[in-house]
Amino acid sequence: MKKRIVVALGGNAILTTDASAKAQQEALVHTAHYLADFIEAGHELIISHGNGPQVGNLLLQQQLGATEKNPAMPLDTAVAMTQGSIGYWLENALVDELKKRDITKNAATILTQVVVSASDPAFQAPSKPIGPFLSEEEMLEEKKQTTATYVEDAGRGFRKVVPSPNPIDIVEYPVIQQLVENGIITIAGGGGGIPVIIKDGVYHGVEAVIDKDFASEKIAALVHADMLVILTGVDHVSINFNQPNQAELNKVTVAEMEHYIQQNQFAPGSMLPKVQAAIAFIKENTTGKAVITSLENIKNLLEEETGTIITA
């Protein structure tokens, strides 16, 4: 039976150790090979994606080339720029993959604005890492040229952190819904969306990065998706991770996942926001399903419903 599915890709699924356009396009060709299974199975598809590595690199490039007459663009504009570039690559990769399967489909990228609250406490406590990992020496050199905040991240080095407010609304969701209803593969909410606040009835971009899983959940709820699929590096969410009694979660309920959250089973900044986004989607659409799994497990998800599947 045809389902409307929102798939959330991580920015690291696009960017490898090689930050060149060619390498990212090649990574997306690999990604499109798996995503095309949703289309071949007859489903409607909306794709969102992260952009943390890409927007961070873009900001660094702009910073290095900025002059008084040619200043660097602000963060909200950089998010829009990476929405466009990643969407362009992903559109072409998907359409080309589908042609190999004798499937004719159009794809479109929607520059997506996401409304946040100007009073969100996140603006007082930057926490969202963006950009590349830096050594301590590189970080200290960067701090000489910027007022940005840097933190040590997962033992892999230092990264810039920016505010990460919660999404309230998706400005373009009616357009996204119209596109998918007309059979067009829609790429939306890239990088968590362009963060905007409403002031005097007008949208204003702000310096922030919205978590792409929370933005994807908001899109999925607003367009009445049947399923939200959050892709990560593992086939299943696990409890007691990296311990002798580690156990994979298969079919679980919202209540069970909330219980595991209370036990601090999921790492903040890693698996926890994915689980929280999945729970939020089910609470807004009690007949839907949320799935957390890997890109490589998509075929098994479609054929055997394997992965961590969360229902009401």
How large is the C-alpha radius of gyration of the chain? 19
Q: Where are the alpha helices (DSSP H) in 4-124?
A: 21-40, 52-65, 75-100
Residues in the chain: 312
Residues of the chain with pLDDT under 70: 11-12
pLDDT at 2: 93
CA distance 190 to 82: 8
pLDDT at 12: 67
Contact 228, 217 (CB under 8 A): yes
Does domain 4-114+170-310 match CATH 3.40.1160.10?
yes
pLDDT at 46: 98
pLDDT at 45: 98
Task: Give catalytic residue positions.
Answer: 11-12, 128, 212, 274
Residue matched to tokens 């999404």: 167
pTM: 0.91
Element (H, E) at 248: strand 247-248
Element (H, E) at 280: helix 271-284
